[in-house]
Amino acid sequence: MKIKYDLLKEEKNTSARNGLLCTNHGTYKTPMFMPVGTLANVKMLTPEEVKACNSAIILSNTYHLWLRPGEDIVAKAGGLHKFMNYDGPILTDSGGFQVFSLAKKKDILEEGVKFKNHLNGDSLFLTPELSIQIQNKLDSDIAMSFDECPPFPVTHDYMEQSVDRTLRWAKRGQNVHQNVNQSLFGIVQGGEFKDLRKYSAVETVKMNFDGYSIGGTSVGEDKKTMYEMIDNSVPYLPKNKPRYLMGVGDPIDILEGVTRGIDMFDCVLPTRIARHGNAFTRSGKINLKNAKYKEDFTPIEEECDCYTCSHYTKAYIRHLITSNEALGGRLLSIHNIRFLIKLTEDIREHIEADTLLEYKEEFIKNYTKKQ
Protein backbone atom coordinates (compact mmCIF):
# COMPACT_ATOMS: atom_id res chain seq x y z
CA MET A 1 0.00 0.00 0.00
CA LYS A 2 1.16 3.53 -0.77
CA ILE A 3 0.98 6.29 1.80
CA LYS A 4 -2.20 8.33 2.04
CA TYR A 5 -2.38 11.95 3.17
CA ASP A 6 -5.54 13.35 4.76
CA LEU A 7 -5.75 17.10 5.11
CA LEU A 8 -7.49 17.67 8.45
CA LYS A 9 -7.38 21.40 9.00
CA GLU A 10 -6.01 24.53 7.36
CA GLU A 11 -4.98 27.26 9.73
CA LYS A 12 -6.86 30.53 9.27
CA ASN A 13 -4.02 33.00 9.30
CA THR A 14 -1.18 31.09 7.63
CA SER A 15 -0.67 28.35 5.05
CA ALA A 16 -0.10 25.85 7.88
CA ARG A 17 -2.13 22.67 7.89
CA ASN A 18 -2.72 19.65 10.06
CA GLY A 19 -2.86 16.29 8.36
CA LEU A 20 -2.69 12.57 8.83
CA LEU A 21 -0.15 10.45 7.04
CA CYS A 22 -1.23 6.84 6.74
CA THR A 23 1.70 4.46 6.10
CA ASN A 24 2.23 0.72 6.14
CA HIS A 25 3.83 1.24 9.53
CA GLY A 26 1.21 3.33 11.28
CA THR A 27 -0.70 6.59 10.88
CA TYR A 28 0.91 9.79 12.08
CA LYS A 29 0.09 13.45 12.43
CA THR A 30 1.67 16.18 10.35
CA PRO A 31 3.46 18.61 10.54
CA MET A 32 6.18 16.22 11.72
CA PHE A 33 9.92 16.25 12.31
CA MET A 34 11.78 13.15 11.11
CA PRO A 35 15.01 12.16 12.93
CA VAL A 36 17.84 11.09 10.64
CA GLY A 37 19.31 7.58 10.81
CA THR A 38 21.73 7.76 7.90
CA LEU A 39 23.36 4.36 8.37
CA ALA A 40 20.29 2.41 9.49
CA ASN A 41 20.40 3.86 12.99
CA VAL A 42 19.71 7.24 14.55
CA LYS A 43 23.23 7.82 15.83
CA MET A 44 23.76 6.22 19.27
CA LEU A 45 20.04 5.52 19.80
CA THR A 46 17.88 2.43 19.74
CA PRO A 47 14.55 2.42 17.89
CA GLU A 48 12.82 2.31 21.29
CA GLU A 49 14.54 5.52 22.34
CA VAL A 50 13.63 7.27 19.11
CA LYS A 51 10.02 6.14 19.49
CA ALA A 52 9.96 7.31 23.11
CA CYS A 53 10.51 10.81 21.67
CA ASN A 54 7.14 10.28 19.95
CA SER A 55 8.80 10.19 16.57
CA ALA A 56 7.02 8.85 13.50
CA ILE A 57 9.03 8.52 10.28
CA ILE A 58 12.80 8.25 10.47
CA LEU A 59 15.16 8.86 7.58
CA SER A 60 17.81 6.60 6.21
CA ASN A 61 20.14 7.03 3.28
CA THR A 62 20.39 5.25 -0.06
CA TYR A 63 23.96 6.32 -0.76
CA HIS A 64 25.30 5.27 2.64
CA LEU A 65 23.46 1.93 2.70
CA TRP A 66 24.49 1.21 -0.89
CA LEU A 67 28.13 1.40 0.29
CA ARG A 68 27.61 -0.23 3.71
CA PRO A 69 26.27 -2.87 4.16
CA GLY A 70 24.93 -2.93 0.58
CA GLU A 71 21.26 -3.04 -0.40
CA ASP A 72 21.34 -6.79 -1.10
CA ILE A 73 22.25 -7.58 2.50
CA VAL A 74 19.44 -5.34 3.72
CA ALA A 75 17.07 -7.08 1.29
CA LYS A 76 18.19 -10.50 2.52
CA ALA A 77 17.49 -9.37 6.08
CA GLY A 78 13.92 -8.75 4.96
CA GLY A 79 14.25 -5.02 4.24
CA LEU A 80 15.42 -2.04 6.24
CA HIS A 81 12.73 -2.29 8.94
CA LYS A 82 13.75 -5.82 9.86
CA PHE A 83 17.46 -5.13 9.39
CA MET A 84 17.45 -2.29 11.93
CA ASN A 85 14.51 -3.61 13.95
CA TYR A 86 12.38 -0.48 13.50
CA ASP A 87 8.67 -1.03 12.97
CA GLY A 88 7.80 2.60 12.34
CA PRO A 89 7.84 4.17 8.87
CA ILE A 90 11.15 4.87 7.12
CA LEU A 91 11.90 7.37 4.37
CA THR A 92 15.03 6.90 2.30
CA ASP A 93 16.80 9.82 0.73
CA SER A 94 17.90 9.14 -2.85
CA GLY A 95 21.61 9.79 -2.47
CA GLY A 96 21.43 12.89 -4.67
CA PHE A 97 22.28 15.26 -1.84
CA GLN A 98 25.07 13.00 -0.54
CA VAL A 99 26.73 12.84 -3.96
CA PHE A 100 26.61 16.61 -3.93
CA SER A 101 27.84 17.07 -0.35
CA LEU A 102 30.29 14.20 0.19
CA ALA A 103 32.06 13.73 -3.16
CA LYS A 104 34.89 16.19 -3.73
CA LYS A 105 34.90 15.70 -7.49
CA LYS A 106 31.91 14.62 -9.48
CA ASP A 107 30.98 14.41 -13.14
CA ILE A 108 27.32 15.14 -13.79
CA LEU A 109 26.22 13.36 -16.95
CA GLU A 110 22.80 12.92 -18.47
CA GLU A 111 23.00 9.25 -17.55
CA GLY A 112 23.84 9.87 -13.89
CA VAL A 113 26.70 11.06 -11.66
CA LYS A 114 30.24 9.74 -11.68
CA PHE A 115 32.07 10.37 -8.41
CA LYS A 116 34.43 8.90 -5.86
CA ASN A 117 33.37 6.80 -2.88
CA HIS A 118 33.96 9.12 0.11
CA LEU A 119 35.30 6.19 2.13
CA ASN A 120 37.93 4.66 -0.15
CA GLY A 121 38.08 6.76 -3.34
CA ASP A 122 36.66 4.04 -5.59
CA SER A 123 34.87 5.23 -8.72
CA LEU A 124 31.11 5.10 -8.42
CA PHE A 125 28.30 5.79 -10.84
CA LEU A 126 24.85 6.53 -9.46
CA THR A 127 21.91 6.87 -11.83
CA PRO A 128 18.25 7.72 -11.22
CA GLU A 129 17.36 4.11 -11.99
CA LEU A 130 19.96 2.66 -9.64
CA SER A 131 18.91 4.95 -6.79
CA ILE A 132 15.31 3.79 -7.14
CA GLN A 133 16.30 0.15 -7.51
CA ILE A 134 18.37 0.35 -4.33
CA GLN A 135 15.46 1.99 -2.51
CA ASN A 136 13.08 -0.69 -3.82
CA LYS A 137 15.34 -3.27 -2.22
CA LEU A 138 15.72 -1.34 1.02
CA ASP A 139 11.91 -1.42 1.11
CA SER A 140 11.49 1.91 2.85
CA ASP A 141 7.98 3.32 3.11
CA ILE A 142 8.88 6.41 1.12
CA ALA A 143 11.56 6.65 -1.56
CA MET A 144 12.90 9.90 -2.97
CA SER A 145 13.61 10.67 -6.62
CA PHE A 146 17.26 11.07 -7.57
CA ASP A 147 17.89 14.75 -8.13
CA GLU A 148 20.73 17.09 -8.86
CA CYS A 149 21.41 19.35 -5.92
CA PRO A 150 23.51 22.20 -7.35
CA PRO A 151 25.75 24.32 -5.18
CA PHE A 152 24.81 27.89 -4.30
CA PRO A 153 25.04 30.14 -6.18
CA VAL A 154 24.88 29.00 -9.81
CA THR A 155 23.71 31.00 -12.84
CA HIS A 156 20.09 31.00 -13.93
CA ASP A 157 21.23 29.26 -17.07
CA TYR A 158 22.92 26.42 -15.19
CA MET A 159 20.00 26.05 -12.80
CA GLU A 160 17.53 25.84 -15.69
CA GLN A 161 19.49 22.99 -17.24
CA SER A 162 19.78 21.34 -13.84
CA VAL A 163 16.05 21.56 -13.16
CA ASP A 164 15.32 19.98 -16.55
CA ARG A 165 17.79 17.22 -15.84
CA THR A 166 16.22 16.59 -12.43
CA LEU A 167 12.81 16.37 -14.13
CA ARG A 168 14.12 13.83 -16.65
CA TRP A 169 15.77 11.88 -13.81
CA ALA A 170 12.54 11.92 -11.81
CA LYS A 171 10.69 10.44 -14.78
CA ARG A 172 13.33 7.76 -15.32
CA GLY A 173 13.21 6.84 -11.64
CA GLN A 174 9.44 6.65 -11.73
CA ASN A 175 9.64 4.37 -14.76
CA VAL A 176 11.72 1.76 -12.96
CA HIS A 177 10.02 2.05 -9.57
CA GLN A 178 8.47 -1.33 -8.83
CA ASN A 179 7.92 -1.69 -5.09
CA VAL A 180 4.12 -1.48 -4.72
CA ASN A 181 4.40 -0.96 -0.97
CA GLN A 182 6.73 1.98 -1.37
CA SER A 183 5.66 5.54 -2.14
CA LEU A 184 7.78 7.79 -4.33
CA PHE A 185 8.25 11.53 -3.84
CA GLY A 186 9.30 14.06 -6.45
CA ILE A 187 11.71 16.88 -5.57
CA VAL A 188 11.29 20.53 -6.46
CA GLN A 189 14.57 22.27 -7.23
CA GLY A 190 15.33 25.61 -8.86
CA GLY A 191 17.57 27.35 -6.36
CA GLU A 192 16.68 30.94 -5.55
CA PHE A 193 15.09 31.55 -8.95
CA LYS A 194 11.37 32.10 -8.57
CA ASP A 195 10.53 31.20 -12.16
CA LEU A 196 12.52 27.96 -11.93
CA ARG A 197 10.97 26.97 -8.58
CA LYS A 198 7.55 27.41 -10.16
CA TYR A 199 8.56 25.57 -13.32
CA SER A 200 10.13 22.71 -11.32
CA ALA A 201 7.08 22.40 -9.06
CA VAL A 202 4.54 22.49 -11.89
CA GLU A 203 6.41 19.96 -14.01
CA THR A 204 7.13 17.64 -11.09
CA VAL A 205 3.49 17.66 -10.03
CA LYS A 206 2.49 16.66 -13.57
CA MET A 207 4.23 13.33 -12.95
CA ASN A 208 1.85 12.63 -10.08
CA PHE A 209 4.14 11.55 -7.26
CA ASP A 210 2.89 10.35 -3.86
CA GLY A 211 4.32 13.44 -2.23
CA TYR A 212 6.57 16.38 -3.01
CA SER A 213 9.66 17.65 -1.39
CA ILE A 214 11.43 20.95 -1.69
CA GLY A 215 15.15 20.47 -2.03
CA GLY A 216 18.20 22.63 -2.19
CA THR A 217 17.00 25.23 0.30
CA SER A 218 19.55 24.52 3.00
CA VAL A 219 22.77 24.69 1.01
CA GLY A 220 24.22 28.06 1.73
CA GLU A 221 21.54 30.64 1.11
CA ASP A 222 20.46 33.09 3.75
CA LYS A 223 17.26 32.42 5.66
CA LYS A 224 15.23 35.03 3.79
CA THR A 225 16.10 33.38 0.48
CA MET A 226 15.25 29.98 1.92
CA TYR A 227 11.79 31.14 2.99
CA GLU A 228 11.25 32.75 -0.44
CA MET A 229 12.13 29.47 -2.12
CA ILE A 230 9.42 27.78 -0.07
CA ASP A 231 6.98 30.57 -0.94
CA ASN A 232 7.73 30.06 -4.61
CA SER A 233 7.28 26.27 -4.51
CA VAL A 234 4.40 25.43 -2.18
CA PRO A 235 1.63 27.25 -4.11
CA TYR A 236 2.17 24.89 -7.06
CA LEU A 237 1.94 21.71 -4.99
CA PRO A 238 -1.38 19.87 -4.62
CA LYS A 239 -3.23 20.11 -1.33
CA ASN A 240 -3.91 16.40 -1.13
CA LYS A 241 -0.26 15.32 -1.01
CA PRO A 242 2.33 15.74 1.74
CA ARG A 243 4.99 18.45 1.37
CA TYR A 244 8.46 17.82 2.69
CA LEU A 245 11.18 20.44 3.22
CA MET A 246 14.45 18.53 3.03
CA GLY A 247 17.32 18.91 5.46
CA VAL A 248 15.72 21.57 7.64
CA GLY A 249 15.64 21.19 11.42
CA ASP A 250 16.36 24.55 13.00
CA PRO A 251 13.37 25.29 15.28
CA ILE A 252 12.72 28.69 13.72
CA ASP A 253 12.99 27.25 10.21
CA ILE A 254 10.46 24.58 11.14
CA LEU A 255 8.05 27.30 12.26
CA GLU A 256 8.69 29.33 9.12
CA GLY A 257 8.24 26.22 7.00
CA VAL A 258 5.01 25.15 8.67
CA THR A 259 3.43 28.58 8.28
CA ARG A 260 4.30 28.33 4.58
CA GLY A 261 2.49 25.00 4.22
CA ILE A 262 5.20 22.39 4.89
CA ASP A 263 4.21 19.04 6.49
CA MET A 264 7.49 17.17 6.93
CA PHE A 265 11.00 18.12 8.00
CA ASP A 266 14.23 16.20 8.56
CA CYS A 267 17.68 17.18 9.75
CA VAL A 268 20.82 15.75 11.36
CA LEU A 269 20.97 18.93 13.46
CA PRO A 270 19.52 17.61 16.76
CA THR A 271 21.89 14.63 16.90
CA ARG A 272 24.92 16.36 15.40
CA ILE A 273 24.87 19.34 17.75
CA ALA A 274 24.22 16.92 20.63
CA ARG A 275 27.52 15.17 20.03
CA HIS A 276 29.19 18.56 20.39
CA GLY A 277 27.48 19.27 23.68
CA ASN A 278 24.61 21.46 22.47
CA ALA A 279 21.02 21.33 23.62
CA PHE A 280 17.93 23.05 22.30
CA THR A 281 15.94 24.96 24.88
CA ARG A 282 12.90 27.25 24.60
CA SER A 283 15.25 30.11 25.34
CA GLY A 284 17.81 29.19 22.69
CA LYS A 285 20.57 26.69 22.11
CA ILE A 286 22.93 26.14 25.01
CA ASN A 287 26.32 24.44 25.12
CA LEU A 288 26.77 22.16 28.11
CA LYS A 289 30.54 22.64 27.99
CA ASN A 290 29.98 26.11 29.39
CA ALA A 291 31.50 26.34 32.89
CA LYS A 292 28.32 27.88 34.26
CA TYR A 293 26.68 24.45 34.19
CA LYS A 294 29.36 22.85 36.40
CA GLU A 295 27.17 22.93 39.47
CA ASP A 296 23.80 23.26 37.78
CA PHE A 297 21.83 20.38 39.24
CA THR A 298 18.68 21.09 37.25
CA PRO A 299 17.61 19.38 34.03
CA ILE A 300 18.22 21.01 30.64
CA GLU A 301 14.57 22.09 30.71
CA GLU A 302 12.37 21.69 33.78
CA GLU A 303 9.24 21.33 31.67
CA CYS A 304 10.70 18.84 29.16
CA ASP A 305 9.24 15.34 29.30
CA CYS A 306 12.17 13.53 27.64
CA TYR A 307 14.13 10.70 29.27
CA THR A 308 17.19 12.91 29.65
CA CYS A 309 15.43 15.77 31.41
CA SER A 310 13.54 13.45 33.73
CA HIS A 311 16.71 11.60 34.82
CA TYR A 312 19.81 13.81 34.58
CA THR A 313 21.12 17.24 35.48
CA LYS A 314 23.07 19.71 33.39
CA ALA A 315 26.06 19.20 35.72
CA TYR A 316 26.09 15.46 35.00
CA ILE A 317 25.67 15.84 31.25
CA ARG A 318 28.36 18.52 31.26
CA HIS A 319 30.65 16.09 33.06
CA LEU A 320 29.99 13.39 30.44
CA ILE A 321 30.49 15.79 27.52
CA THR A 322 33.69 17.34 28.87
CA SER A 323 35.01 13.85 29.71
CA ASN A 324 34.28 12.64 26.15
CA GLU A 325 31.89 10.01 27.45
CA ALA A 326 29.56 8.96 24.63
CA LEU A 327 26.59 8.76 26.97
CA GLY A 328 26.60 12.58 27.00
CA GLY A 329 25.95 12.85 23.28
CA ARG A 330 23.39 10.09 23.55
CA LEU A 331 21.43 11.88 26.28
CA LEU A 332 21.56 15.20 24.42
CA SER A 333 20.44 13.50 21.18
CA ILE A 334 17.35 12.23 22.98
CA HIS A 335 16.57 15.67 24.36
CA ASN A 336 17.12 17.47 21.06
CA ILE A 337 15.00 15.05 19.05
CA ARG A 338 12.24 15.26 21.61
CA PHE A 339 12.53 19.05 21.57
CA LEU A 340 11.84 19.26 17.83
CA ILE A 341 9.07 16.67 17.96
CA LYS A 342 7.44 18.47 20.87
CA LEU A 343 7.71 21.66 18.83
CA THR A 344 5.68 20.02 16.04
CA GLU A 345 3.14 18.80 18.62
CA ASP A 346 2.72 22.36 19.89
CA ILE A 347 2.52 23.61 16.32
CA ARG A 348 -0.29 21.16 15.53
CA GLU A 349 -2.25 22.34 18.57
CA HIS A 350 -1.91 25.94 17.50
CA ILE A 351 -2.92 25.09 13.93
CA GLU A 352 -6.02 23.49 15.37
CA ALA A 353 -6.73 26.62 17.42
CA ASP A 354 -5.79 29.05 14.63
CA THR A 355 -3.22 30.62 16.95
CA LEU A 356 -0.04 29.64 15.15
CA LEU A 357 1.18 33.16 14.41
CA GLU A 358 1.02 34.18 18.08
CA TYR A 359 2.76 30.96 19.08
CA LYS A 360 5.44 31.45 16.44
CA GLU A 361 6.09 35.03 17.50
CA GLU A 362 6.31 34.07 21.18
CA PHE A 363 8.57 31.08 20.45
CA ILE A 364 10.96 33.10 18.32
CA LYS A 365 11.06 35.90 20.89
CA ASN A 366 12.05 33.47 23.65
CA TYR A 367 14.38 31.47 21.45
CA THR A 368 16.36 34.46 20.24
CA LYS A 369 16.46 36.64 23.33
CA LYS A 370 19.87 37.23 24.85
CA GLN A 371 20.25 35.18 28.01
Residue among 1, 6, 12, 76 that touches a second copy (CB under 8 A): 76
Range in contact with a second copy (rule: CB under 8 A) among 51-59, 185-193, 217-225, 291-299: 291-299
Instruction: Assess 44 for contact with a second copy (CB under 8 A).
Output: yes
Total residues contacting a second copy (rule CB under 8 A)? 35
- Interface segment toward a second copy; rule CB under 8 A; list 144-152, 173-181, 252-260, 316-324: 316-324
SS (H, E, C) the chain: CCCEEEEEEECCCCCCEEEEEEECCEEEEECEEEEECCCCCCCCCCHHHHHHCCCCCEEEEHHHHHHCCCHHHHHHHCCHHHHHCCCCCEEEECCHHHHHHHCCCEEECCCCEEEECCCCCCEEEECHHHHHHHHHHHCCCEEECCCCCCCCCCCHHHHHHHHHHHHHHHHHHHHHCCCCCCEEEEEECCCCCHHHHHHHHHHHHHCCCCEEEECCCCCCCCHHHHHHHHHCCHHHCCCCCCEEECCCCCHHHHHHHHHCCCCEEEECHHHHHHHCCEECCCCCCEECCCHHHCCCCCCCCCCCCCHHHHHCCHHHHHHHHHCCCHHHHHHHHHHHHHHHHHHHHHHHHHHHCCCHHHHHHHHHHHHHCCC
Say if residues 243 and 237 touch (Cβ distance below 8 Å).
yes
Within 335-354, which residues bind a second copy (CB under 8 A)? none
Q: State the minimum distance, in angstroms, from the CB of residue 95 to a second copy.
A: 16
318 is an interface residue for a second copy by CB under 8 A = yes
Residue placing its CB nearer to a second copy in the complex, 239 or 294:
294
How many Å apart are CA 60 and CA 258, to the nearest integer? Answer: 23
CB of 188 to a second copy, least distance (A): 31
Using the rule CB under 8 A, which residue among 111, 122, 295, 352 binds a second copy? 295
Instruction: Let me know: does 215 contact 149? Beta carbons within 8 Å.
Output: yes
Applying CB under 8 A, among 16, 56, 84, 343 the residue interacting with a second copy is 84
Does position 289 interact with a second copy (CB under 8 A)? The reply is no
**Of residues 20, 52, 315, 364, which one binds a second copy by CB under 8 A?**
315
Nearest CA to 61 among 129, 127, 146, 1? 146
Whether residue 153 has a cis bond before it, omega within 30° of 0: yes
Q: Decide if residue 41 touches a second copy (CB under 8 A).
A: yes
Does 123 contact a second copy by CB under 8 A?
A: no
Tell me the window of 36-44, 124-132, 183-191, 354-362 that interacts with a second copy (CB under 8 A): 36-44
* Contact with a second copy (CB under 8 A) among 12, 27, 73, 109: 73
| Among the listed residues 168, 224, 276, 294, the single contact to a second copy using CB under 8 A | 294
Q: Does 268 bind a second copy (CB under 8 A)?
A: no
Task: Report, in Å, the least distance between residue 86 CB and a second copy.
Answer: 10
Between 247 and 329, CB nearer to a second copy: 329
Residue 161 as a binder of a second copy (CB under 8 A): the answer is no
In the complex, least distance from residue 90 CB atom to a second copy, rounded to whole angstroms: 14
Residue of 2, 9, 43, 114 that binds a second copy (CB under 8 A): 43
Of 125 and 297, the one with the shorter C-beta distance to a second copy is 297
Handedness of CA 283, 286, 288, 294 (dihedral sign): negative
CA dist., res. 231 & res. 260, Å (int) = 7
46 makes contact with a second copy (CB under 8 A): yes
Is 93 a catalytic site residue? yes
Q: Residue 280 Cβ, how far from a second copy at the closest point, in Å?
A: 21
Residues in the site for a second copy, rule: CB under 8 A?
A: 39-41, 43-46, 64, 68-69, 73, 76-78, 83-85, 294-295, 297, 311-313, 315-316, 318-320, 322-323, 325-327, 329-330
Residues marked as catalytic: 93, 266
